[in-house]
Amino acid sequence: MTETTTVRQTRPITGDGDHERFAHYVRKGDIVRSNVEGVEVEALCGKRWIPNRDPSRYPICPTCKEIKSKLWGS
């Protein structure tokens, strides 16, 4: 019998793509710092960008949502 193990790795996503169509979960302190200093933030899913849009206009990123539920249970 052969056993297979799958390892999932999260890589930062920096390009344009489907992640541009979602709102992402980011630490609140990182958002504040980005607003003041203009630096990139990193979402739970690994996407990195400088926030400049209203996230309430977009659906939540399914990857961020899944990671958040595993970490905090909701």
11 has pLDDT over 70: no
Report the pLDDT averaged over residues 18-35.
Answer: 88
pLDDT band (50, 70, 90) for residue 32: very high
pLDDT band (50, 70, 90) for residue 3: low
C-beta atoms surrounding 24 within 10 Å: 22
| C-alpha pair distances (Å), 28 with each of 6, 17, 32, 42, 56 | 32, 24, 6, 11, 15
